[in-house]
Amino acid sequence: MEGRIIVVTSGKGGVGKTTATASIGAALALEGKRVAVIDMDIGLRNLDVVLGLENRIVFNIVDVVNGKCKLRQAAIRDRRIENLFLIPASQSDNKDILTPAGVERVGRLLKKEFDYVLMDSPAGIERGFENSIASADEAVVICTPDVSSVRDADRVIGLLYARSITPKLVVNRIVPEMVAKGDMLSHEDVIDVLSVPLVGLVPMDQQVVISSNVGLPLVMQNDSTAGQAFRRIARRLNGESDLPIQVPSHKKGMWGMLTRKFGKK
Amino acid sequence: MGTNDMPPVKLKGVGDGFWITVDPQAPEETIEEQLTLLFQRLRHLAINARITLDMGGATGCDELVTRLTAFLKETFQVGVVTLPPEKRSIPVERTRQRDLSRGWKHHRSDVLMLRGRVRSGQKIESRKHIVIMGNVNPGAEILAGGHVIVLGQLRGRVHAGISEDETATVVALEFRPTHVQIGGVAAAGLDSAGNGKAEIAVVEKGRIVVQSYLESNLFDALPWPEVM
């Protein structure tokens, strides 16, 4: 069976596309799928650092598209998670070095090789974005609960629909305490504007910063709330569409404080 | 009527009251001066008198009528002030009869009617009126030669009556645009959240006024359904 190419995009920068790509990719691989995560942010590569594979880069996606190497030569195998592969971006080129047609051609090869291919799109809606969506079958739009991120996600959703790609939504970095106080948009507010199918809600988690810096996939850390959310997102993408979506909540009062105190060791 | 050689105000005794013909083109001070002259001569006869205020068939001078009515009542203690009974017009009757017999089928109305959500970065343009069944997101743009009706939330930019048509209106079930322009008159959006009521924006005295659509009853006064 042919694999699926999923582009992870957002319009706005810094909302967690790369973290989401790494986490969902790793989680799908842990589910037993053969997964490639591809950094499409040519010139500003990050995905290799987040996955802790920066020291093993020889070839990159530009080399693959331009025929300088084979797909298998560029795909770096993750030694901790079986079946997870990274194709990094080039750090020395810019976005114009790739064309949508070239990416589409490589996309066909990727689909034969892998069950899931996750494309980490760069921010913006220019060439880099167009390259990323060129071969995509599906899209996951990452949005944080703030007005500018919602606005940009909305624009991107419009562009995806224009290519007849139906996006799925992940609301990232939810701070339940702020939502409860009315200082942050709730995920309902976000969905109210974007009205696309929701695939997961991810709470704000300090563990994300730590794991990105040490290059350890978030989903391998059992005490990370964001990691758990991404694992559930991966399961939903992998066909378990009836898996209920958990709304991040904060425990309040005496009982909550007690459980939090004793829960941490 | 309205010619220069006619006096701006004429007074005539009719049955149980007075018939005053006013030239609405004349300056309001002149009208009030002339009225004062005439009514001072009437003295006590003016008190509680029934007055018919004839604007010579001119339309759109409702506010002038209101002010003159108040002026007459305060200054001369007149009784009831009414407008002359409407005269029948044969051409009007003919067009309305045609509307009735043909069920308005002979009219054409140019509307671009859409359904769905208009997203950020999408721009909908039409020389006609635009009706959208759905929401208009922040960052979206609606540009219409005529009126704009949004059966949903309006949260983007909207420009109605593009060719300087300030009679155009914008109606939305939830009126929260970031920017609204009607003809050449523009206004920045309001920060307030919607009050859950349908609202209409119109140009009044060179400014955009937004009011509750149902409470404004703007079109109830029209005597006959008009084609837009």
| CATH number, position B50 | 3.30.750
Instruction: Tell me the shortest Cα–Cα distance from A203 to chain B, in angstroms.
Output: 25
How many independent structural domains does chain B possess? Answer: 2
In A85-175, which residue ranges form alpha helices assigned H by DSSP?
A: 100-113, 127-133, 147-162
Per-residue pLDDT for A142 more than 80?
A: yes
Contact B129, B152 (CB under 8 A): no
Instruction: Answer whether A155 sits within 8 Å of B117, measured CB to CB.
Output: no
Instruction: Tell me the shortest Cα–Cα distance from B139 to chain A, in angstroms.
Output: 7
Per-residue pLDDT for A255 more than 70?
A: no
Per-residue pLDDT for A259 more than 70?
A: no
B139 to chain A, any CB pair closer than 8 A? The answer is yes
Residues B123 and B204 placed together within one structural domain of the fold: yes
Per-residue pLDDT for A253 more than 70?
A: no
Residues B191 and B119 placed together within one structural domain of the fold: yes
Residues B43 and B136 placed together within one structural domain of the fold: no
Instruction: Answer whether A158 sits within 8 Å of B138, measured CB to CB.
Output: no
Residue B4 has a pLDDT of 54
- Tell me which residue range forms the domain holding B77: 3-82
Pairing of strands B9-14, B17-22: antiparallel
The kind and range of the H/E element at B64 are helix B62-76
Give me the mean pLDDT over the A104-123 stretch: 96
Residues B55 and B136 placed together within one structural domain of the fold: no
Q: How many CB pairs under 8 A join A and B?
A: 29
Q: Please state the separation of Cα A195 from the chain's center in Å.
A: 20
List the beta bridge partners of residue B112: B130
Q: Which amino acid is at B7?
A: P
Give the nearest partner residue to A151 out of B122, B135, B139, using CB atoms.
B139
DSSP letters along A186-205, please? Answer: -HHHHHHHH-S-EEEEEE--
Output the average pLDDT for chain A. 92
Of the residues B47, B82, B117, which one is the last residue of a structural domain? B82
Chain A residues inside the 8 Å CB shell of B121: 154-155, 158-159
% of chain A residues with pLDDT over 90: 89
Give me the mean pLDDT over the A149-169 stretch: 94
Residues B124 and B200 placed together within one structural domain of the fold: yes
Contact A101, A134 (CB under 8 A): yes
Residues B191 and B122 placed together within one structural domain of the fold: yes
Low-confidence ranges of chain B (pLDDT < 70): 1-5, 60, 190-194
Of the residues B82, B101, B127, which one is the last residue of a structural domain? B82
% of chain B residues with pLDDT over 70: 94
Instruction: Tell me the shortest Cα–Cα distance from A32 to chain B, in angstroms.
Output: 38
* A4-238 topology per CATH: Rossmann fold (3.40.50)
The kind and range of the H/E element at B115 are strand B111-115
Q: Give a yes or no: residue B160 inside a domain.
A: yes
Q: Cα separation of A193 and B121, whole Å?
A: 14
Global pTM reads: 0.76
Beta strands in chain A (DSSP E): 4-9, 35-39, 76-77, 84-87, 116-120, 138-143, 167-174, 198-203
Secondary structure of residue A28 in the 3-state scheme: helix
Q: Give a yes or no: residue B224 inside a domain.
A: no
List the beta bridge partners of residue B116: none
Residue B54 has a pLDDT of 85
Q: Give a yes or no: residue B94 inside a domain.
A: no
Query: Does A16 belong to an annotated binding site?
Result: yes
Residue B194 has a pLDDT of 67
Residue B194 main-chain phi, psi, to 5 deg: -60, 150
Give the nearest partner residue to B117 out of A152, A155, A195, using CB atoms.
A195
Residues B58 and B125 placed together within one structural domain of the fold: no
Q: Where are the domains of chain A?
A: 4-238
B211 to chain A, any CB pair closer than 8 A? The answer is no
Q: Give a yes or no: residue B69 inside a domain.
A: yes
Q: Cα separation of A26 and A13, whole Å?
A: 22
Residues B191 and B143 placed together within one structural domain of the fold: yes
Residues B75 and B113 placed together within one structural domain of the fold: no
Give residue A265's pLDDT band: very low, low, confident or very high (50, 70, 90).
very low
pLDDT in tens, A65-98: 999 999 999 999 999 999 999 999 999 999 999 9
Q: Note the residue count of chain B.
A: 228
Q: Cα separation of B177 and B152, whole Å?
A: 12
Maximum Cα–Cα distance across chain B: 70
- Angle at the Cα of B181 from the Cα atoms of B176 and B182, rounded to 5 degrees: 115
Which residue, chain included where needed, has tokens 């671009």? B112
Per-residue pLDDT for A258 more than 70?
A: no
Residue A264 has a pLDDT of 44
Instruction: Answer whether B120 sits within 8 Å of A195, measured CB to CB.
Output: no
pLDDT in tens, A209-233: 999 999 999 999 889 999 999 999 9
Give the nearest partner residue to A158 out of B120, B135, B138, using CB atoms.
B120
The kind and range of the H/E element at B199 are strand B199-204
The ipTM estimated for the assembled molecules is 0.71
- Angle at the Cα of A82 from the Cα atoms of A76 and A88, rounded to 5 degrees: 20
Residue A74 has a pLDDT of 96
CATH number of the domain enclosing B118:
2.160.20.70
Residues B141 and B184 placed together within one structural domain of the fold: yes
